Chains A and B, each alone.
Chain A
Amino acid sequence: MRRLILTLLGLALLTVSVAAQGEVSPEAVEAVIEQLSCPLCGGIPLAECDLPVCDDMREIIVERLAAGESEEQIIAYFVEQYGEQVLIVPPRRGFSLLVWVLPGLAIIIGGMMVWWALRRLAAPSPALSSGSEIEGGEPPPAVEDEYLARVERELRELE
């Protein structure tokens, strides 16, 4: 947490110093930073990384914004330098598309399996569903257990 505060403080100072030369708002810098991760440390957000490479990246963002580059141009520059692994959110194409598709598929397939399992549990036992009602009473409760079904059947035969 302390590291994050120090990083953000340093970033704010850097933004102010560069903004004195060109107009760069801290919001614009943050908007770029929050889309990027550290290229060396496997997914750690750029805002939370204190490696020299990440310090340089933050400086480059401020400088490029001050030079008039757009958010998209700066992101494209970093993707060219480090590959798509530098993006916090993977692009919705190619193999990365799986990252977007798999959770949805997992939810759909999992939901279908749960629905199928619940339907099976709720279905009345074939042994009882085909049987006659107990005299003067309610229909027998659905019983899955084969043994209980057999006991019920034999009791009915004794009556």
Chain B
Amino acid sequence: MRRRVIWGAAAIGLLLALIGLLAMALAQKMAGRPEVGTPAPDFTLSLFDGGQVNLAELRGKVVVINFWASWCPECAEEASRLEQAWRTYGERDVVFLGVDYLDTERAAREYLVRHGITYPNGPDLGGRIARAYHITGVPETFIVDREGLIAHVHIGPIPAEQLAAELERLLP
């Protein structure tokens, strides 16, 4: 009788532990994207052209983080708009960062040349940055204010006017 109780308790304990583990995994997966007004998750991006950029070190500047991929037609749609905005706002201390999501380096480099993109871009190795920002796909754009807080999130190709309006709002 006592043995049966011990075995029963062990089985229930094991079951609860498994449910707990699955719940943790689910909670991690379901955790929402960083919301507007919350700190932007820090990351270091290794650039295609060499060197690295660390988000935390850009504190004091407005940062536009754009997730893209060479295989994504909507990304190509907004590529020239982003480059144009970079040329306009780069002079006003706005930093643009392109984060290349689940791509091959060769295709990514071709894409950057094809669209004439000159702002810093790098691969999201292992999809770590995309996971930190809980992106739902590409393209997605996060605008980080000078205090390092997320000021705007846009899913899909960002219209030029909207990007300009958001940047104007954040710039002195």
Binding site for B on A (CB under 8 A): 39-40, 51-53, 56-57, 60, 79-83, 85, 95, 98, 102, 105, 109, 112
Contacts and interface: CB of A to CB of B under 8 A. Distances in A.
A60 B128 CA distance: 22
Given A56-B107, A81-B126, A82-B127, A39 B102 contact: yes
A51 B71 CA distance: 9
A51 B11 CA distance: 45
Nearest to B24: A95
> From DSSP, what is the main secondary structure of chain A's interface residues?
helix
Given A53-B71, A57-B104, A98-B21, A83 B11 contact: no
B150 to A, nearest CB: 24
A54 to B, nearest CB: 9
Interface residues of B, number: 18
Contacts of A51: 71
Interface in B80-127: 102-104, 106-107, 123, 125-127
B142 to A, nearest CB: 20
Given A40-B102, A51-B71, A57-B104, 7 more contacts: A52-B70, A52-B71, A56-B106, A60-B104, A82-B127, A95-B21, A109-B11
B14 interface: yes
A56 B104 contact: yes
Contacts of B106: 56, 60
B120 to A, nearest CB: 19
Contacts of B123: 81
Given A53-B104, A109-B14, A83 B71 contact: no
Contacts of B104: 53, 56-57, 60, 81
19 contacts: A39-B102, A40-B102, A52-B70, A52-B107, A53-B71, A53-B107, A57-B104, A80-B126, A81-B104, A81-B123, A82-B102, A82-B127, A83-B126, A83-B128, A95-B21, A95-B25, A105-B14, A109-B11, A112-B11
A81 B125 contact: yes
B18 interface: yes
B103 A53 contact: yes
Contacts of B25: 95
Contacts of B127: 82-83, 85
A147 B128 CA distance: 65
Contacts of A112: 7, 11
A109 B117 CA distance: 57
Contacts of A105: 14, 18
A82 B126 contact: yes
In the A-B complex, list the 9 residue pairs whose CB atoms are closest, starting with the nearest: A56-B104, A83-B126, A39-B102, A83-B127, A52-B71, A53-B71, A56-B107, A40-B102, A80-B125
Contacts of A56: 104, 106-107
Nearest to A95: B25
Contacts of A80: 125-126
Contacts of B70: 52
A98 B22 CA distance: 10
